[in-house]
Amino acid sequence: MASTGTTSTTGGGHEWWRTAVIYQVYPRSFADANGDGVGDLPGITAHLPELQNLGVDAVWLSPFMTSPQRDAGYDVADYCDVDPLFGTLDDFDRMLEAAHGLGLRVIIDLVPNHTSSDHVWFKDALASSDGSPERGHYWFRDGKGENGDEPPNNWESVFGGPAWTRVTNPDGTPGQWYLHLFDTSQPDLNWTDPWVWEQFRGILRFWLDRGVDGFRIDVAHGMVKADGLPDATPDEAAGSMGGAGGALALEPEISDEPPSLPYWGQEGGHEIFRDWHKVLAEYDGDRALCGEAWVDPPAKLARYVRPDEMQQTFNFSYLETPWQAPALRTVIADSLAAFNGVGAPSTWVLSNHDVVRHATRLGVSGDNPQGHGLGPKSNVTVDAVTGLRRARAATTVMLALPGSAYLFQGEELGLPEVIDLPDSARQDPTWFRTDGERYGRDGCRVPIPWTAAGPSFGFNDTGASWLPQPAIWALLARDAEELDPDSTLALYKLLLAEREGRGLGAGELEWLKGFGDDVVAFRNGGVTVVANLGEASIALPDGEVVVSSEPLTGTDLPTDTAVWLLG
Ligand code: GLC
């Protein structure tokens, strides 16, 4: 085997976020202390020891702030309070203290692209006249056409349907339109308004003062819109709403300059992150911003993590890479090159609350665009056994890469997407706004199993669950997997311990050649990582096997299997 060059991704410093494995807690579905069927902050606090025991460095909490929950909390009505569904600010403080006591960092979700329509800012805007400062906090515009009854432009909502809704004036006459890139209940804020900037500085400080270690920035690539809100050209609109990559329209499919869609990846957004960088720098202890920016290619994405902007950004190009060795090698190399170029760590992610869980996704044949979800009538074939096998191998590769990695709750148990949710249980606005054409994201959000026995598999002790849990949860429950040395949980624990012990997060990647096109092979921190994505077995390379994604027999490395070797 020959080696070709080395690539480090951790940059110069030793800040925690350069190498951290960060576990995404989706509060609604993690653990439910009060038994109402929706997870809560006391539930999280109670289960933090399991996360410490798993071996992660930090947790990211999806939104738990005051919200009418029309988009599962990504519709915030008060940025500085906890929704009673999840507990109280005191519960948050207790959770944070407990996490820090266990050595776990905590980052929280900030949703600055839009508020809930229940937010007092929006209510004030509705109650104010056209052209008022209150309306100026959002995007209110007169409609087109003779009576203003056509939307101001042709933008479409990520969740389906038009991105504009018309309001009714106090006297009952039809009024202006407001922009919402997501649900009607999520009006977009106008980031050309200095007042909005000031509010968010205050919100950041509110949580930084409480001691959070950072923020995940929702829809970071959408906050700034092109001047004049121009129409998207027909080609662009089709690409963003219908194409494989852009199905949720979260992905801009931008590969040229300037950005092709007038609401994604606009240059002006970077000014906001520079401002926030300065706010975080006022605080001690190495606080961090991680952007949710669906921007491609990695070279463009890396602009969000230049030294005076955010610290991290999600690497969705990695998540979307098909299970093919050449594609995987390319995205890893491109990511390391791009992020190294700006002195930032690359991040890696395979699952989150918006995509089909990778234990299922990697076993799906047929088209399954991001955000469409899967349901009983989806036109795809799902091979669950292959999916899980590939998922275990994919994670074995990911956790060997230098930089920081994100895990989504339940992937450490090998949870699949729940495909057969009854229509009546579905809650994702995507499902409603597309009249059931797209299933949306509920299938990855089902409350996770802690115990094989007991009501709701230990999610709570009442049996209530906001989405129904499948019977297979009994086999995949944490307590069952704790007893099984070959479980996915055991694999994750071993990977995380070895990654930590060998300092792989801060390591340098050295490509290994000579294994053939269907193999991904590299060295990092003294570990040789070999993943066989081909259809045939290959010879297991020499060396002591430290981790294998599947139990090995003989001297072969079977298909869809990855190993870490020493020597
Ligand atoms: C982000 C969130 C997603 C949410 C959307 C609107 O993409 O991850 O869950 O629906 O923003 O806030």
Statement: residue 79 has pLDDT above 80: yes
The segment(s) of the chain belonging to CATH 3.90.400.10 are 120-179
* pLDDT band, residue 75 (cuts 50/70/90): very high
The segment(s) of the chain belonging to CATH 3.20.20.80 are 16-116+194-482
Alpha-carbon gap, residue 248 to 71, rounded angstroms: 14
Alpha-carbon gap, residue 157 to 441, rounded angstroms: 16
Question: Which of 131-152 are b and which e, b meaning 16 or more Cβ less than 10 Å from the residue's Cβ?
Answer: eeebbbbbbbbebeeeebeebb
CA 507 to chain centre: 24
Query: Which of 28, 109, 182, 184 to mutate for ligand 1's pocket (most ligand atoms within 8 Å of CB)?
Result: 182
* pLDDT band, residue 259 (cuts 50/70/90): low
316 lines ligand 1 (CB under 6 A): no
* pLDDT band, residue 12 (cuts 50/70/90): low
Ligand 1 centroid vs 292 CA: distance in angstroms? 9
Per-residue pLDDT reduced to its tens digit, 477-518? 999 999 999 999 999 999 999 999 999 999 999 999 999 999
How does the average pLDDT of the chain come out, rounded?
93
Statement: residue 300 has pLDDT above 60: yes
* pLDDT band, residue 234 (cuts 50/70/90): low
Per-residue pLDDT reduced to its tens digit, 152-189? 999 999 999 999 999 999 889 999 999 999 999 999 99
Give yes or no: 218 in active site: yes
Average pLDDT, integer, range 236-243: 37
Query: Which of 28, 62, 69, 71 to mutate for ligand 1's pocket (most ligand atoms within 8 Å of CB)?
Result: 71
Alpha-helical (H) ranges within 252-324 are 269-281, 298-301, 316-319
Average pLDDT, integer, range 288-307: 95
279: helix, coil or strand?
helix
Average pLDDT, integer, range 216-226: 98
Helix-strand-coil split of the chain, %, nearest 5: 30, 20, 50
Average pLDDT, integer, range 101-116: 98
CB atoms within 10 A of CB 369: 17
**Of the listed ranges 26-35, 369-378, 512-521, 555-564, the one predicted with least confidence:** 369-378
**Which positions ≥6 away from 500 have C-beta within 8 Å?**
55
Q: Which CATH superfamily is domain 120-179 in?
A: Oligo-1,6-glucosidase; Domain 2 (3.90.400.10)
Give yes or no: 282 in active site: yes
The catalytic residue among 57, 183, 218, 428 is 218
The catalytic residue among 149, 198, 231, 282 is 282
Top-level CATH class of 16-116+194-482? alpha beta
The one-character DSSP state at 129 is P
Q: In terms of CATH architecture, what is 511-566? A: Sandwich (2.60)
The protein residue whose alpha carbon is closest to atom 4 in ligand 1 is 74
218 lines ligand 1 (CB under 6 A): yes
Indicate the pTM of the whole model: 0.95
The segment(s) of the chain belonging to CATH 2.60.40.1180 are 511-566
Atom of ligand 1 nearest to the CA of 429: 10
Statement: residue 251 has pLDDT above 70: no
Q: Assess contact for 545 and 491: CB atoms under 8 A.
A: no
160: helix, coil or strand?
coil
250 lines ligand 1 (CB under 6 A): yes
Statement: residue 235 has pLDDT above 60: no
The protein residue whose alpha carbon is closest to atom 5 in ligand 1 is 74
* pLDDT band, residue 250 (cuts 50/70/90): very low
